[in-house]
Amino acid sequence: MKKNRPQKSFSERVYVVVQKIPRGKTRTYKEVATQAGSPHAYRAVGNILSKNYNPRIPCHRVVRTDGALGGYNRGLERKAEMLREESL
């Protein structure tokens, strides 16, 4: 008999997806939302990541679908710098 495990919240699923983005790669907010199980919740992904201060969750690797950086709670200059450093 299987034990019923509590289902992860959408926020938890987003963090799991983002943690798996490899160094030097990016994903879009929409890709993260889709992989977390809610393809239309890309704005919610941005809202969730704006509150993240855990360095193990590389939210700077999530960008807009049009290629723009999007937001970052430590500033866009820092996000751009981190992405440049990782792509070397």
User: Is there a contact between 36 and 45 (Cβ–Cβ < 8 Å)?
Assistant: yes
The closest alpha carbon to 44, from 58, 33, 57, 34, belongs to 33
Residue tagged active-site, from 59, 62, 63, 83: 59
* Whether residue 59 lies in the annotated active site: yes
> CA–CA separation, 9 vs 27, rounded Å?
20
Catalytic positions, please? 59
